């Protein structure tokens, strides 16, 4: 099972201006640097939680369809499924009509199964025989969870203010990782 980003977000839902407001930065001198830290924070958040912030297109590859019929999509929030393709037992690529699958986007992780009365076809016995393309992320900033934004702002501020791994005083102390605590609360559970 592997996830690949196909089309990155065209619109970022968390802005440098919002991050600066959180950090109480009033000048524009380091907007580019803050933007880099913000992008890194969003990336780390997404990697740690399996949540996608801004709408983007992803690909999930599997070696075969699951025996229990349910495919968990570990990139939330799933908006829609664009395609489900597979290599059949003769080695030819086939595509399943998206009307023949059911997406449960309300669950975390999202779940994909054959529609009522349908079943997954038999695939060739090869790696990456199944390819699912889907859109995930929030479609507008108002829908973003406040905890998600808090974790991202905390990481951005931390990296902006502490440009090294440790703060050195009389003794070296690691900066508190409040963002990690929030991300552990927001992590998508693996399996059911």
Q: What CATH number is attached to the domain comprising 30? A: 1.10.3230.30
Strands 93-96 and 101-104: unpaired
Q: Could you report the per-residue pLDDT of 75-130, keeping only the tens digit for each?
A: 989 999 999 999 999 999 999 999 999 999 999 999 999 999 999 999 999 999 99
Establish if 77 belongs to a structural domain. Answer: yes
Q: Could you report the per-residue pLDDT of 26-72, keeping only the tens digit for each?
A: 999 999 999 999 999 999 999 999 999 999 999 999 999 999 999 99
Residues 117 and 67 both lie in one domain: yes
Query: CA 43 to CA 108: how far, in whole Å?
Result: 19
Establish if 12 belongs to a structural domain. Answer: yes
Residues 7 and 42 both lie in one domain: yes
CA distances from 54 to 14, 26, 112, 156, 159 (A): 9, 26, 21, 17, 21
Residues 62 and 121 both lie in one domain: yes
φ, ψ of residue 152 to 5 degrees: the values are -65, -45
Residues 73 and 121 both lie in one domain: yes
pLDDT above 70 for 170: no
Residue 89, pLDDT score = 94
Residue 137 neighbours by CB distance under 10 Å = 23
Residues 60 and 40 both lie in one domain: no
Residues 23 and 60 both lie in one domain: no
Residue 75 neighbours by CB distance under 10 Å = 21
Query: CA 105 to CA 96: how far, in whole Å?
Result: 19
Residues 102 and 127 both lie in one domain: yes
Residues 113 and 155 both lie in one domain: no
Residue 94, pLDDT score = 97
Residues 110 and 61 both lie in one domain: yes
Residues 129 and 113 both lie in one domain: yes
Residues 45 and 113 both lie in one domain: no
Domain tally, the chain: 2
Query: CA 33 to CA 53: how far, in whole Å?
Result: 20
Q: Output the six-digit token pair for 63.
A: 């070696």
- Report yes or no: 141 and 13 within 8 Å, Cβ to Cβ: yes
- Report yes or no: 132 and 72 within 8 Å, Cβ to Cβ: no
The last residue of a domain, from among 136, 160, 177: 136
Residues 114 and 181 both lie in one domain: no
Establish if 122 belongs to a structural domain. Answer: yes
- Count of residues making up the chain: 192
Instruction: Please compute the mean of the pLDDT values over residues 3-22 and round it to a whole number.
Output: 93
Establish if 192 belongs to a structural domain. Answer: no
Establish if 191 belongs to a structural domain. Answer: no
> pTM above the 0.75 mark?
yes
Establish if 39 belongs to a structural domain. Answer: yes
| Residue 192 confidence class, pLDDT cut points 50, 70, 90 | very low
Rg of the chain taking only CA atoms, in angstroms: 20
pLDDT above 80 for 17: yes
Q: Output the six-digit token pair for 58.
A: 């992803």
The last residue of a domain, from among 121, 136, 151: 136
Cis peptide before 174 (omega within 30 of 0): no
What is the domain extent for residue 38? 2-53+141-186
Grouping H, G, I as helix, E, B as strand and the rest as coil, residue 127 is coil
């Amino acid at each position: 099972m592997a996830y690949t980003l196909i089309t990155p977000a065209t619109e970022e839902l968390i802005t440098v201006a919002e991050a600066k407001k959180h950090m109480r930065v009033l000048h524009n001198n380091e907007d580019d640097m803050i933007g880099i830290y913000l992008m890194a924070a969003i990336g780390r958040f997404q990697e740690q939680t399996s949540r996608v912030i801004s709408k983007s297109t992803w690909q999930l590859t599997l070696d075969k369809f699951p025996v229990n019929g349910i495919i968990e999509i570990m990139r939330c929030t799933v908006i829609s499924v664009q395609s489900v393709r597979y290599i059949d037992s003769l080695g030819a690529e086939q595509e399943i009509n998206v009307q023949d699958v059911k997406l449960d986007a309300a669950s975390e992780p999202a779940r994909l199964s054959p529609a009522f009365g349908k079943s997954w076809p038999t695939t060739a016995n090869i790696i990456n025989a199944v390819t699912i393309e889907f859109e995930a992320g929030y479609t507008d900033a108002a829908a973003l969870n406040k905890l998600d934004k808090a974790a991202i702002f905390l990481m951005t501020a931390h990296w902006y203010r502490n440009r090294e791994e440790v703060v050195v005083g009389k003794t070296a102390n690691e900066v508190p990782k409040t963002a990690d605590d929030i991300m552990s609360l927001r992590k998508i559970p693996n399996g059911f």
